[in-house]
Amino acid sequence: MSRMRRWQFWLGVGISALFLYLFLRDVDFERLWEEIRLANYWWILPGVAVYFVALWVRAWRWHYLLRPVKPIPTRAIFPVVAIGYAGNNIFPARAGEVVRAVLLKRKEGVSISASLATILVERVFDGVVMLAFVFVNLAELTRLSNFHLSIGSLRVSIQDVALWGSAVFFGALAVFLVGAMFPDQTMRLVRWGVQRLFPSRLQETALNLSERFLQGLASLRSPQEALMVFLTSLVIWLLETVKYWFVMHAFRFSVSFFALMLMNGVVNLATTIPSAPGYLGTFDAPGVAVLVAYGVDTSLAAGYTLVLHGALWFPVTALGLYYMWREGVKWGEMVDNLKGEA
């Protein structure tokens, strides 16, 4: 492990430890165990089924984004997506996204930089939908004024999450849309920057990667195409919220579907923060904070969030590991292929 990777790993571990402290500090562990023990776990089965439908829709969305680069059937992309999500759950820094790109190059000959461009587009649209889930609940925010995470004297409110998330995701979306709609002008600007900022021996490589990256943005070159990606992303995250709803029925509380949309939006915005593998802590603490703001007991909210986190983590990880075994995928080989990408 390189020095940079060690630094990123330990930063993630530290952030996860902080969020785990925020998650567990007010929990009654005896009550937590009771809620987990009494849960009706049959409700998880339809939740997992819905989640796998959402995973198939994710594969279709990636197929749609990749069409200008190379048309690949959804059924061929689905195992790659499952492997990528398993990698995100197992490795730090969302390394599963790199696994996806490298594996697609090995299977279909698509350049890694073009694949990563489409994956970044996915992430940006996911972020926009998460913000939409927050904004659609704006009427609730005044009632949820007690929703915050306290870190010493620092208080992070849902308004802070929405403000900073909007700046990041809408800013990135604007950059991608401009790059997609004006590729020639964007490439001239990139070439100007590369010639002034990069040493001469790296300029050709940087320009080649930039051209392939812009090729990966081609699916956004019309408003209709961008709208299709947004609507598909909306379906994906509504299906994931349905899983939240099914798992909620395993526990002794009830909140509205809109409350679960808000929880989904907040926790997934929080998981963009660097953390230990599997989004440990960064998923759990914000999720409990949202439910507590809706009047759910802290220990009950913690039990639900732990089970939900496991129900989101284990099935797709098991499926991805199965496909990794079937495809003969090795993590070290993925990294070596990435290093060899020009």
Q: For 21-52, write each residue's pLDDT tens digit.
A: 877 888 889 999 999 999 999 999 999 999 99
Q: 154: which strand partners?
A: 151
Distance CA 130, CA 162 (A): 9
Cβ-contact 128, 233 below 8 angstroms = yes
Q: What number is the average pLDDT over the span 196-204?
A: 82
What is the predicted pLDDT for the residue at 322? 95
pLDDT digit string, tens, across residues 148-160: 555 455 555 666 6
> Given a cut of 90, is residue 306 above it in pLDDT?
yes
What is the predicted pLDDT for the residue at 183? 83
What is the predicted pLDDT for the residue at 342? 40
Cβ-contact 81, 55 below 8 angstroms = yes
The amino acid occupying position 58 is R
What is the predicted pLDDT for the residue at 3? 53
- 195 compared with 80, residue with greater pLDDT: 80
> Quick one: pLDDT band at residue 204, thresholds 50, 70, 90?
confident
β-pairing verdict for 154-157 and 148-151: antiparallel
What is the predicted pLDDT for the residue at 236? 97
Q: What number is the average pLDDT over the span 88-114?
A: 87
Cβ-contact 105, 115 below 8 angstroms = yes
What is the predicted pLDDT for the residue at 147? 56
What is the predicted pLDDT for the residue at 198? 84
Q: What number is the average pLDDT over the span 259-264?
A: 92
Q: Could you give the percent of the chain with pLDDT greater than 70?
A: 85
What is the predicted pLDDT for the residue at 297? 94
**Tokens 């802590």 sit at which residue?**
281
Q: Best-predicted range by mean pLDDT among 77-86, 91-100, 205-214?
A: 77-86
> Given a cut of 90, is residue 255 above it in pLDDT?
yes
What is the predicted pLDDT for the residue at 332? 63
Distance CA 98, CA 120 (A): 11
Give the count of beta carbons closer than 10 Å to the beta carbon of residue 29.
10
Distance CA 214, CA 271 (A): 27
What is the predicted pLDDT for the residue at 242? 98
Domain containing 215: what range?
3-339
What is the predicted pLDDT for the residue at 46? 97
What is the predicted pLDDT for the residue at 335? 54
Cα atoms in the Cβ-side hemisphere of radius 13 Å centred on 142: 1
Q: What number is the average pLDDT over the span 246-263?
A: 94
CA torsion angle 326 330 334 336 (round to 10): -140
Q: How many domains does the chain have?
A: 1
pLDDT digit string, tens, across residues 312-341: 999 999 999 999 888 887 766 655 554 554
pLDDT digit string, tens, across residues 115-160: 988 998 898 899 889 888 887 876 666 565 555 555 455 555 666 6
Distance CA 78, CA 83 (A): 9
The mean pLDDT of the chain is 84
What is the predicted pLDDT for the residue at 239? 97
